[in-house]
């Protein structure tokens, strides 16, 4: 029997931890890698692959290329988002779409809290104002104190669940919009279900935690921003295109909302020409919410674990297309 073959298509040798090679070899996996930039590169490296592995922004796992991978059982994207993969096409062709959200929930929830405080207390603007030396303290005053405010969460996966746990001491009223979250989960976490209009109208902080799909693309636009309180802030550590940036610029300039904290943008990497960058009432970071020393190592560990699980005939710890009928029969693994 030929070895189970895994191809990592967007990394070079120096980017891969040394321990990955012996661990996959010990599991009987034939591991190949390369920095594929075109469909031709992909097919040269991975035409006969059993599992396709993406760790970055590669967009080659699309409806054009996936049908050509005749032996491919699974596509893994190291990270929580799978918008780089055509999930519908993968599902159609019997490929399990795997991700590693358990590596990032701690870091992203920490980062979300940091942005809430940085925006709500106008820390970036105060820092810029203070550096040349200051005489007055009434420039860029904090918007409010966090205690007993209303937090609106769009999406209620692992990251916002951790966020709720970490913010428990602030006695927040927490509203959740997530059509897929069961009532029992929301009740167990002490949060309340709300429709989007109610969430926008009542929240002092709106924090985005939804994956990017056709349904969530530009979920927040001019209509939704106008529904928010003028004292409210918007936080996005999920995916940039969930928010229509043109509408957000207008909302921030015209004070429909008080401020925003953004780790993600519609087009990445963003540039100095982005009109958001000229505003004082936002705090921005370069898509680093999920990154820490611990999360990077854990991402590699969980990715390798998923490769080994699939090779051994098990469903991985996390996969997103629950209705898929895999080309290779898989069993549930007790963990």
Q: Which pLDDT does position 146 carry in this prediction?
A: 96
Question: Residue 104 carries which DSSP code?
Answer: T
Q: Which pLDDT does position 47 carry in this prediction?
A: 95
Cα–Cα dist 77/138, whole Å:
47
Classified as helix, coil or strand, 211 is: coil
CATH 3.30.2350.10 assigned to domain 105-284? The reply is no
CB 276 within 8 A of CB 297: no
Cα–Cα dist 61/9, whole Å:
10
Cα–Cα dist 119/140, whole Å:
11
CB 143 within 8 A of CB 120: yes
Q: Which pLDDT does position 17 carry in this prediction?
A: 97
Question: Residue 273 carries which DSSP code?
Answer: T
- List beta partners, residue 42: none
CB 27 within 8 A of CB 50: no
Decide if 4-103+293-311 and 105-284 have a common fold. yes
Cα–Cα dist 46/225, whole Å:
45
Report the run of H or E that residue 154 belongs to, with start and end.
strand 150-154
Q: Which pLDDT does position 140 carry in this prediction?
A: 86
Domain layout of the chain by residue ranges:
4-103+293-311, 105-284
pLDDT tens digit at each of 335 positions of the chain = 579 999 999 999 999 999 999 999 999 999 999 999 999 999 999 999 999 999 988 899 999 999 999 999 999 999 888 988 999 999 999 999 999 999 999 999 999 999 999 999 999 989 888 888 988 888 788 898 999 999 999 999 999 999 999 999 999 999 999 999 999 999 999 999 999 999 999 999 999 999 998 899 999 999 999 999 999 999 999 999 999 999 999 999 999 999 999 999 999 999 999 999 999 999 999 999 998 888 999 999 999 999 999 999 999 999 999 999 999 999 998 76
Pairing of β 150-154 and β 173-177: parallel
The reported pTM is 0.86
Catalytic positions, written as ranges: 239, 268, 287
Domain 4-103+293-311 homologous superfamily, CATH: NAD(P)-binding Rossmann-like Domain (3.40.50.720)
Packing angle of the helix pair 158-166, 105-120 (nearest 10 deg): 60
Packing angle of the helix pair 293-311, 105-120 (nearest 10 deg): 150
């Amino acid at each position: 029997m030929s070895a189970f073959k895994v191809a990592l298509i967007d990394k070079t040798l120096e980017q891969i931890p040394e321990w990955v090679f012996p661990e996959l070899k010990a599991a009987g996996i034939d591991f190949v890698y390369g920095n594929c930039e075109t469909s031709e590169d992909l097919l040269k490296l991975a035409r006969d692959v059993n599992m396709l592995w993406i760790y970055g922004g590669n967009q080659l796992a699309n409806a054009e290329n996936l049908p050509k991978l005749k032996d491919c059982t699974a596509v893994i994207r190291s990270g929580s988002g799978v918008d780089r993969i055509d999930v519908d096409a993968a599902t159609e062709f019997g490929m399990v779409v795997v991700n590693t959200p358990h590596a990032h929930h701690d870091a992203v929830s920490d980062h979300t809290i940091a942005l809430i405080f940085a925006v709500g207390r106008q820390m970036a603007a105060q820092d810029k104002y203070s550096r040349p030396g200051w005489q007055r303290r009434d420039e860029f005053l904090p918007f409010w104190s966090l205690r007993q405010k209303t937090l609106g969460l769009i999406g209620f996966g692992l990251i916002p669940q951790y966020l709720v746990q970490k913010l428990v001491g602030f006695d927040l009223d927490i509203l959740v919009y997530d059509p897929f979250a069961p009532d029992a989960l929301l009740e167990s976490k002490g949060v309340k279900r709300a429709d989007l209009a109610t969430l926008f109208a009542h929240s002092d902080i709106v924090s985005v935690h939804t994956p990017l799909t056709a349904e969530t693309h530009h979920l927040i636009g001019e209509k939704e921003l106008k529904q928010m309180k003028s004292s409210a802030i918007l936080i996005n550590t999920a995916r940039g295109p969930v928010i229509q940036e043109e509408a957000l610029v207008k909302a921030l300039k015209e004070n429909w909302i008080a401020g925003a904290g953004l780790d993600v943008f519609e087009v990445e990497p963003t540039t100095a020409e982005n009109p958001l960058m000229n505003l004082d009432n936002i705090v921005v970071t370069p898509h680093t919410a999920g990154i820490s020393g611990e999360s990077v190592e854990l991402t590699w560990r969980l990715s390798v674990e998923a490769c080994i699980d699939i090779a051994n005939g098990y469903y991985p710890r996390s996969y997103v297309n629950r209705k898929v009928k895999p080309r290779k029969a898989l069993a549930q693994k007790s963990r």
